[in-house]
Amino acid sequence: MKNTALITGASNGIGLELAILHAANGGDLVLVARNKTKLDELKITLESTYKISVHTIGKDLSQINAANEVYLETQKLNIQIDVLINNAGFGAYGLFTETDWQKEMDMIQLNVTALTQFTKLYLPAMVQRKSGKIMNVASTAAFQPGPTMAVYFATKAFVLSFSEAIQNEVSDKGVNVTTLCPAATETGFQAAGEMEDSGLFKGRKLPSAREVAIFGYDAMMEGKSLAIHGTMNAIMAHSVGLMPRKLVAKVSRKLLSKV
């Protein structure tokens, strides 16, 4: 396989669009998601359209050590991963005292642990080859606390901080780590997180998953370390650091409240 990208959460949304973009650029793919049927359907389409090779792995990355199982499969098949895109993730809505702990444990496992483990497993070989790209998908949520989505916002803050630190460590080793920070996007995320009626989504025209994917993919290929989709989103994200933290939490709570 050539110029192979491993993409998690590739069965829909931004992950699916990133897979299409990489295939259109002539790159092979390893696609990972829970729904292997969807991945296999995508494999047929991409291979016939772009004449590339696609390997699919059905895996629930919210399960402990699932990332290592994926890694071992790629090792067994002798697939070199040139591009790692940690896209899989989900959120949950509600006051922390009322939300389901098991769901939040799964969220931390997927959004934080699996992403970190994938990076741990594939980065050393990239450094050794002095070549490779990683994209970790965070969110504009990474820049502030999120009352009513406390755990989700915290996981994305981890992704941003972790990715920026790793980028600093490897920037002189031929490897680049890009953190993609979308704002609210038209995907299945809001339905899965029961957020359709929050001020973040209701009544708003949102960018498509394809728009965000193109923006993120281009940023990764250009070697950018941080990619915040949308000019106003970038301004807001950077201005948060100038505001009192208590006020930031209040504004965030208002935005996330159901309308």
CATH of 5-256, one of 3.60.20.10, 3.40.50.20, 2.70.98.40, 3.40.50.720: 3.40.50.720
pLDDT digits (tens, 9 = 90+) for 10-48: 999 999 999 999 999 999 999 999 999 999 999 999 999
Is residue 180 within 8 A of residue 89, CB to CB? The reply is no
- Ranges of each domain in the chain: 5-256
Query: Pairing state of beta strands 29-33 and 83-86?
Result: unpaired
Could you list the active site residues? 152, 156
> What is the model's pTM?
0.90
Helices (H), 209-257: 209-221, 231-239, 245-256
DSSP state of 95: -
3-state secondary structure of 215: helix
Cα 170 from Cα 177, distance rounded (Å): 8
Q: What is the mean pLDDT of residues 147-158?
A: 97
Residue 51: CB partners within 8 Å, gap ≥ 6?
none
Which of the four pLDDT bands, split at 50, 70 and 90, describes residue 235? confident
